[in-house]
């Protein structure tokens, strides 16, 4: 994992305080801290194929689709959103939480917990983007995508387009934050998100489709979908 130590390691209390602060932005920004209650928590990056497969089936039932690839796509995008949102918001406040050992429990939205909060202080979007990329992409999204794609065939463009869409979508929540936007732009310029889409005055437009339009009855295209007519 790529890690910049420019700002040094943060005190656990600092990390917990920043996570509590960004959690006020909404449910997708919540990472709880402290000991878990032992009820259904798993290490997110080490999720077994069997459990992830069960969750794909849960999503398929919820979406009323018999296409597991559609359910798997929406599941991955939701998990990506839950990871990006709090970490990017925390980085904009100068702290990147260490997600190694991150626990999760399925819910609406997915519940996340760091039993022992740790992290790093960062100075500016460039420093922050390097750490966020390492902890979210390399540490969480890559292993999750490998496990998921062993169960359901999903192309690279869809997987990382979903991740990019989830990243950019976080900017729509809360007050406009120039540092958070700079972080998102810097992350979109890093592989594997490079070329997945563009962030312009009207928002993010991706170069792939998450397949939500295939959700019955009459699923619609998302606002950032590549399949929408130009203009």
Can you give the pLDDT of all 231 residues of the chain as single tens digits?
333 345 689 999 999 999 999 999 999 999 999 887 766 789 999 999 999 999 999 999 999 999 999 999 999 999 999 999 999 999 999 999 999 989 998 877 789 999 999 999 998 777 889 999 999 999 999 999 999 999 999 999 999 999 999 999 999 999 999 999 999 999 999 999 999 998 888 788 888 888 888 888 766 767 667 666 655
**Which residues touch 225 (CB under 8 Å, ≥6 apart)?**
206, 209, 210, 213
Q: Residue 178 falls within a domain, yes or no? A: yes
- Provide the β-strand partners of residue 204: 199
Alpha helix ranges (H) inside the chain: 12-22, 49-63, 68-92, 124-132, 142-149, 156-169, 178-188
Contact indicator for 45, 147 with CB cutoff of 8 Å: no
Instruction: Tell me what pLDDT residue 200 has.
Output: 82
Structural domains in the chain (count): 1
Per the domain annotation, does 228 fall within a domain? no
What pLDDT does residue 212 have? Answer: 84
Q: Is residue 82 part of a domain?
A: yes
Q: Phi and psi at residue 108, in whole multiples of 5°?
A: -130, 95
pTM of this structure: 0.91
Rounded Cα–Cα distance for residues 108 and 123 (Å): 33
Answer yes or no: is 206 within a domain: yes
Q: Let me know if residue 159 belongs to a domain.
A: yes
Q: How high is the pLDDT of residue 123? A: 85
Residue whose tokens read 């359901």: 152
The CA-CA-CA angle for residues 124, 12, 179, to 5°, reads 20
Q: How far apart are the first and last CA of the chain?
A: 40
- Asked if residue 123 is part of any domain, the answer here is yes
| 57: helix, strand or coil | helix
| Distance in angstroms (rounded) separating the CA atoms of residues 109 and 107 | 5
Nearest to 160 by CA among 141, 134, 143: 141
Expressed as residue numbers, the domain containing 39 is 12-214
| Residue at 3 is within a domain | no
Q: Give the model's pLDDT for residue 71.
A: 95
* Domain contains 221: no
CA–CA separation, 60 and 151 (whole Å): 14
């Amino acid at each position: 994992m790529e890690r910049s130590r420019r700002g040094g390691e943060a005190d656990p209390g600092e990390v917990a305080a920043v996570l509590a602060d960004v959690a006020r932005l909404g449910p997708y920004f919540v990472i709880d801290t402290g000991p878990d209650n032992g009820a259904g928590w798993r290490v997110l990056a080490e999720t077994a194929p069997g459990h992830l497969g069960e969750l794909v089936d849960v999503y398929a039932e919820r979406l009323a689709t018999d296409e597991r690839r559609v359910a798997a796509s929406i599941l991955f995008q939701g998990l990506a959103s839950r990871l990006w949102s709090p970490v990017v918001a925390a980085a904009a406040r100068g702290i990147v939480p260490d997600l190694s050992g991150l626990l999760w429990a399925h819910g609406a939205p997915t519940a996340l917990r760091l039993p022992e909060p740790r992290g790093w202080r960062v100075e500016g979007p460039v420093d922050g983007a390097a750490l966020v990329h390492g902890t979210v992409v390399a540490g969480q999204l890559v292993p999750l995508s490998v496990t998921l794609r062993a169960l359901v065939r999903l192309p690279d463009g869809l997987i990382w387009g979903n991740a990019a869409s989830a990243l950019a979508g976080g900017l729509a929540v809360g007050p406009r934050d120039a540092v958070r936007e700079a972080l998102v732009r810097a992350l979109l310029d890093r592989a594997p998100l490079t070329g997945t889409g563009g962030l312009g005055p009207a928002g993010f437009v991706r170069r792939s489709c998450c397949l939500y339009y295939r959700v019955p009855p009459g699923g619609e295209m998302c606002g950032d979908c590549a399949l929408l007519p130009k203009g």
